[in-house]
Amino acid sequence: MKAAVLVFPGINRERDMARTLRMISGRDPAIIWHTETELPSSTDLVVIPGGFSYGDYLRCGAIAARSPVMDAVRAYAAGGGLVLAVCNGFQIACEAGLLPGVLMRNARLKFICRDIFLKVERSDTPFTRGYNAGQVVRVPTAHGEGNYTADAETIARLEGEGRVIFRYVGPDGARDPAFNVNGSTNAIAGIINDYGNVLGMMPHPENHVEAAIGPTDGRGLFAGLVEALDRAA
C-alpha cells in the first residue's frame, strides 16, 4: 500500500491515520501538504483525515475542498484511485464534489465524542472486504457536524444503488433513532461514490486498531484495503 495522507491547516488526525496505515500495511504513508499540485506517482490510496481544517470557517471542509491538492485528488479519483475520507475528510470530500450531499450540524447540537455502533451494509467494496455484510462494528466518533443530508432524489439514488456503506445502529444492529447520534438521514454514517472508489465516513476506524487501547474493530477496514490493493497489484 502506497498511501498518501493529505494535510490541511487545522487537520489534527493525520498522525493517528499515518500510524494505523503503517501498522497495518507495514509502510509509511506519504504526508501531502495542501498546496501540492500532484500526488506521488505510485499512490494507490489517498486518505483525507479528520480534524478542523481552516477552523471549520465558512462551512466544515469548504475551504480545504478548494485547495490546490484537491484538484489532484479529483483527477486521481476520476482515474479510479481509492480515496478514504474520514470525519472532516468526509466533509471536505462532499464540499469538493467527490461525494454527494452535505454534513450539517448535529441534530441535537452537541459535539459527539464517544464510541458508536456501525452496521456494515456491504462487504463487496475495497473498503469493507475485511468485514461481513451486516456485521456491527464499534468505532469512535468525534464531530459536531455529521448530520448527513441530501435532497430526496440523491438519498433515493444512494439507497437504490447500495451506496450506503455504514449506518448508525444499536449494539444489536437494529436501526434505532436513539443510536442515530447526529440525526443523519436514514442513519447514514458512510457512503461511496457512484464508481465505488471514494468512501466518506464520519466515525474514526483508525482509532480502534490496537488491543492495548480497546476494541480493534477498525482494523478490518485497513486490512481489507491492503488485501484489495495486493490483489489489484
Partner 1 sequence: MLGQGVETRNRLKNQMKARVTVTLKSGILDPQGKAIEGALRSLGIVGVSAVRQGKVFDIEIDGADRAKAEALLKHAADKLLANTVIENYRVEILG
Which residue, 56 or 95, has its beta carbon nearer to partner 1? 95
Spell out, one character per residue from 191 to 220, where the chain touches partner 1: x when CB under 8 A holds, - when not. ------------------------------
Which residue, 62 or 120, has its beta carbon nearer to partner 1? 62
Q: Which residue among 135, 149, 186, 216 contacts partner 1 (CB under 8 A)?
A: 149
Q: Which residue among 28, 33, 38, 108 contacts partner 1 (CB under 8 A)?
A: 108
Residues 56-75 contacting partner 1, CB under 8 A: 58-59, 62-63, 66
**What distances in angstroms separate CA 210 from CA 4, 74, 160, 184, 205, one per listed residue?**
22, 32, 35, 29, 11
**Measured between alpha carbons, how far is 83 from 115 in angstroms, rounded to an integer?**
24
**Measured between alpha carbons, how far is 119 from 130 in angstroms, rounded to an integer?**
13
Q: Catalytic amino acids?
A: 87, 204, 206
Spell out, one character per residue from 7 to 46, where the chain touches partner 1: x when CB under 8 A holds, - when not. ----------------------------------------
The helix/strand/coil state of 206 is: helix
Q: Which residue among 85, 150, 165, 228 contacts partner 1 (CB under 8 A)?
A: 150
With binding defined as CB under 8 A, does residue 96 bind partner 1?
no
Report yes or no: 129 and 228 within 8 Å, Cβ to Cβ.
yes
Neighbouring C-alpha atoms within 13 Å toward the C-beta of 210: 11
Which residue, 123 or 149, has its beta carbon nearer to partner 1? 149
Rounded to the nearest 5°, which phi and psi values hold at 108? -95, 15
**What distances in angstroms separate CA 1 from CA 25, 42, 47, 57, 223, one per listed residue?**
6, 9, 12, 33, 10
Interface residues toward partner 1, by CB under 8 A: 58-59, 62-63, 66, 95, 100-102, 104-109, 147, 149-151, 183
